[in-house]
Amino acid sequence: MKSFEEVENLASESTNQYKLALAMSKRVRALKDGAPCLVPEIENPQQNAVKAAMAEFARGLISYSTPETQHIDQGVKRR
């Protein structure tokens, strides 16, 4: 499965593999809920949602971003 290898490369280049996994899982859910697949050669993307999502990410058709910095004390009230 070529898409799997390409996603593995994408994950190794990613600064946050957890965010990549979250983005992919959201895309799988969207495909299962009937979102249009961006890869035309995938047959029945609702049944093959994982394969379709992997192919979309591998081809760079879906992008995601992570915030550059986050404050640790975000949301903490100071006295």
pTM exceeding 0.75: no
Count of structural domains within the chain: 1
- Per-residue pLDDT, 64: 78
CA 49 – CA 55 distance, rounded (Å): 10
In a domain, residue 73? The reply is no
pLDDT in tens, the chain (79 residues): 577 678 777 777 777 788 888 999 999 999 999 999 999 999 898 899 999 999 998 888 988 775 554 444 455 554 4
pLDDT value of residue 66: 59
Q: Which residues of 49-63 are buried (b: 16+ CB within 10 A; e: fewer)?
A: bbbbbbbbbbeeebe
Other CB atoms within a 10 A radius of the CB of residue 26 amount to: 13
Structural domain including 20 reads 2-58
